[in-house]
Amino acid sequence: MNALRAAFRRGFDRFERVFDPLFGPDWNPLGNLGQLGWYLFWIVTLTGVYLFIFFDTGVTDAYASLQWISGDLWWHAGLTRSLHRYASDLLIVVMLIHILREWVYDRYRGHRWFSWVTGVPILWFVYMSGITGYWLVWDKLAQYVATTTTEFLDALPFFAEPIARNFLTPEMLSSRFFTLMVFLHIAIPLLMLLMMWIHLQRITQAQTRPPRGLSILTLVALVVVSYVYPAQSQAPADLATVPAVIGLDWIILGLYPLLNILPAGVIWTSVLAITILMFGIPWLPPRKENPAAVVDLDNCNGCTRCVADCPYTAITMVARTDDAPFRREALVDPDRCVSCGICMGACPSSMPFRSDENLITGIDLPHRSLNDLRTEVNAIGALPKDGSGGRVLTFACEHGSGNQPAEGRISVACIGQIPPSMLDYVLSRDIADGIALAGCSERDCQHRLGVEITKARIARERDPYLRKRVPRERLLTVWAGPSERGKLPGRIAEFSDKLKAMGPFEKKSKKGHKLPLPTTDAPGETVKPNQEVGE
Ligand code: HEM
Ligand code: SF4
Ligand code: SF4
Distance 513 CA to ligand 2 centre (A): 18
Nearest residue by C-alpha to atom 5 in ligand 3: 337
User: Considering only CA atoms, which residue is closest to atom 6 of ligand 3?
Assistant: 337
Atom of ligand 3 nearest to the CA of 306: 3
- Supply the pLDDT for residue 169: 64
Closest CA to 33 of 274, 193, 206, 194: 206
Residues 292, 297, 301, 302: what is their CA dihedral angle, to the nearest 10 degrees? 50
Q: Is 1 helix (H, G, I), strand (E, B) or coil?
A: coil
Q: Which residues of 141-171 are buried (b: 16+ CB within 10 A; e: fewer)?
A: bbbbbbbbbbbbebbeeeeeeebbebbeeee
Which pLDDT belongs to residue 522? 32
List CB contacts of 105: < 8 A, sequence separation 6 or more.
9, 12, 444, 446
Q: Which ligand is nearest to the CA of 32?
A: 1
Ligand 1 atom at minimum distance from 35 CA: 10
Q: Is 448 in the pocket of ligand 1 (CB under 6 A)?
A: yes
Among 115, 316, 340, the mutation site with the greatest number of ligand 3 atoms within 8 A of its Cβ is 340
Low-confidence residues of the chain: pLDDT under 70: 167-174, 243, 245, 507-535
User: Which ligand has the shortest distance to the CA of 330?
Assistant: 2
Q: Where are the domains of the chain?
A: 32-200+211-237+248-283, 294-532
Which pLDDT does position 221 carry in this prediction?
A: 98
279 CA → ligand 3 middle, Å:
25
Please tell me the total number of residues recorded for the chain in this structure: 535
Residue of minimum CA distance from atom 6 in ligand 2 = 306
**Residue-wise DSSP of 103-162:** HHTT-SSGGGHHHHHHHHHHHHHHHHHHHHHHHTT-BHHHHHHHHHHHHHHHTSTT-SS-
Whose Cα sits closest to atom 8 in ligand 2?
300
119 lines ligand 1 (CB under 6 A): yes
| Model pLDDT, residue 71 | 94
| Ligand 1 lined by 81 (C-beta under 6 Å) | no
Q: Residue of the nearest CA to atom 2 in ligand 3?
A: 343
DSSP output for 266-304: HHHHHHHHHHHHHHHGGGSSPP-PPPPPEE-GGG-----
**221 CB-side CA count, 13 A:** 10
Which of 315, 308, 324 has the alpha carbon at shortest distance from 293? 315
pLDDT at 48: 97
CATH superfamily assigned to domain 32-200+211-237+248-283: Cytochrome Bc1 Complex; Chain C (1.20.810.10)
Q: What is the pLDDT of residues 43-93, one digit of tens each?
A: 999 999 999 999 998 888 899 999 999 999 999 999 999 999 999 999 999
Residue 345 CA to ligand 3 center (angstroms) comes to: 10
- Residue 429 has a pLDDT of 92
